[in-house]
């Protein structure tokens, strides 16, 4: 086993767990990144290269199997066509500033109390519904191909590997693209895309920022910090995670990456597949960097869209089912349904208002009692 020291946390180790554990985070990353590359102006080579770089950076920095994954609310809105690439990029930059400020000032716990856990679960449910709607729209264009994706996912689930079913479908899609387009000649990503950020100062951008902030605070800071403590007996504060996410987005987005966070799902996935240190990050990061060399436009165009639809539906279900853990399921479900009827930003703000009203009524009843 090879290891080298990490100054503040723990050593980074390279064993079999680092290799298998790398799969855990890619379960979350690959489906959404492929969808963004196929349905938006996101550059897949640049996105993969930036993901690879930050997997290595934060794996070595924390010495833990920290997740580096897409900001799901923003990704879902972009995939559904509700955000342009410029709006996605600007939202990532704004969130980078907010998360860095929150982390450096130590105000994350206060923000979480104000938003509320049922609202966070409601946003997750809404994101799942948005992805499901988009996925079904793609799947009906070629039902037979979509059924192949569903069959692959079902086979993995029946074999006891349900968590890897989305990744399996993505890999089948990539294999299909390789058969159609051939193995591409490796090449460097080139100059990063330059979205017109000035034209992205829209309500849709700020609606996306608001909704994503709720998910990031709940799932990518507080929950991830708790998970590190529970699974690995490691102390990483939510404010530290907020700070590193802020730094990531302020650097990544201008380099052609997409908005990223430290989701707890990715940490749980890496741990379930055997990762115990940041060695899994280094292995996965190198894998992404190599993949970036082969992610050519011809290969991307050959990915079957109907199979992408099945892939998005699988990811959607995994997100939406978190609503069952809500402390107020009615409120969380209501936020999701309102998001479909209006938009995610409106549903998020309405959810906060209802949550705060319920909290206030509860305190008043306690005072009377």
* Digit-coded pLDDT (tens) for 224-259: 998 899 889 899 999 999 999 999 999 999 999 999
pLDDT band of residue 2 (cuts 50, 70, 90) is very low
CA distance 356 to 332: 14
- The residues, ordered by sequence, that sit 6+ positions from 278 with a Cβ below 8 Å of its Cβ are 6, 12, 58, 59, 60, 61, 62, 63, 64, 65, 66
pLDDT tens across 12-26, in order? Answer: 888 888 888 888 788
| Element containing residue 63 per DSSP (H, E) | none
CA distance 264 to 277: 15
> Tokens 């400020």 sit at which residue?
101
| Element containing residue 60 per DSSP (H, E) | helix 44-62
Model confidence at 97: pLDDT above 90: yes
Please compute the mean of the pLDDT values over residues 186-210 and round it to a whole number.
93
Q: Look at 4 and 252; give whichever has higher pLDDT.
A: 252
pLDDT band of residue 65 (cuts 50, 70, 90) is very high
| Model pLDDT, residue 329 | 94
Please compute the mean of the pLDDT values over residues 77-106 and round it to a whole number.
96
0.75 exceeded by the pTM? yes
Mean pLDDT for the chain? 89
pLDDT tens across 145-166, in order? Answer: 999 999 999 999 898 888 788 8
| 4-18, 123-137, 354-368: least confidently modelled range | 4-18
The candidate with the shortest Cα–Cα distance to 344, out of 73, 95, 115, is: 73
Question: Which backbone phi and psi does 86 adopt, to 5 degrees?
Answer: -65, -40
Please compute the mean of the pLDDT values over residues 172-198 and round it to a whole number.
92
| Model pLDDT, residue 364 | 65
Model confidence at 369: pLDDT above 90: no
Spell out the long-range contacts of 232-238 with Cβ–Cβ below 8 A and sequence spacing 24 or more.
Answer: 232/64, 232/65, 232/271, 232/276, 234/9, 234/10, 234/64, 236/9, 236/62, 236/64, 236/66, 238/108, 238/109
CA distance 46 to 220: 23
| Model pLDDT, residue 112 | 72
CA–chain centroid gap for 105, Å, is 25
Instruction: Give the total residue count for the chain.
Output: 369
Report H helices in 106-221: 108-115, 117-139, 143-158, 165-181, 203-217
> To the nearest whole percent, how much of the chain has pLDDT over 90?
60
| Model pLDDT, residue 10 | 66
């Amino acid at each position: 086993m090879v290891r080298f020291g990490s100054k503040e946390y723990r050593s980074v180790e390279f064993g079999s767990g680092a290799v298998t554990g790398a799969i855990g985070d890619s379960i979350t990353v690959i489906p959404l990144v492929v969808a963004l590359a196929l349905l938006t102006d996101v550059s897949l080579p640049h996105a993969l290269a930036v993901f690879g770089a930050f997997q290595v950076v934060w794996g070595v920095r924390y010495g833990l199997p920290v997740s580096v994954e897409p900001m799901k609310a923003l990704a879902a809105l972009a995939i559904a066509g509700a955000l342009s690439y410029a709006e996605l990029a600007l939202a990532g930059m704004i969130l980078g500033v907010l998360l860095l400020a929150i982390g450096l000032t130590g105000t994350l716990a206060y923000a979480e109390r104000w938003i509320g856990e049922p609202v966070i679960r409601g946003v997750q449910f809404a994101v799942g519904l948005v992805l499901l709607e988009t996925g079904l729209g793609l799947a009906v264009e070629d039902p037979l191909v979509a059924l192949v994706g569903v069959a692959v996912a079902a086979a993995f689930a029946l074999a006891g590997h349900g968590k890897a079913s989305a990744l399996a479908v993505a890999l089948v899609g990539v294999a299909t693209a390789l058969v159609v387009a051939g193995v591409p000649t490796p090449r460097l990503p080139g100059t990063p895309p330059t979205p017109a950020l000035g034209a992205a100062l829209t309500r849709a951008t700020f609606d996306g920022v608001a909704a994503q902030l709720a998910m990031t605070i709940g799932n990518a800071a507080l929950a991830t910090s708790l998970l590190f403590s529970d699974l690995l007996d490691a102390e990483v504060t939510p404010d530290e995670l907020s700070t590193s996410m802020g730094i990531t987005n302020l650097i990544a987005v201008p380099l052609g990456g997409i908005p990223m966070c430290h989701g707890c799902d990715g940490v749980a996935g890496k741990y379930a597949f055997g990762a115990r240190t940041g060695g899994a990050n280094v292995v996965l990061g190198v894998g992404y960097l190599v993949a970036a060399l082969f992610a050519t436009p011809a290969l991307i165009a050959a990915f079957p869209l109907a199979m992408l639809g099945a892939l998005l539906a699988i990811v959607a279900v995994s997100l939406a089912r978190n609503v069952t853990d809500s402390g107020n399921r009615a409120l969380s479900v209501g936020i999701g349904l309102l998001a479909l009827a209006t938009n995610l930003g409106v549903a998020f703000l309405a959810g906060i208002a209802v949550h705060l009203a319920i909290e206030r009524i509860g305190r008043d009843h306690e005072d009377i009692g």
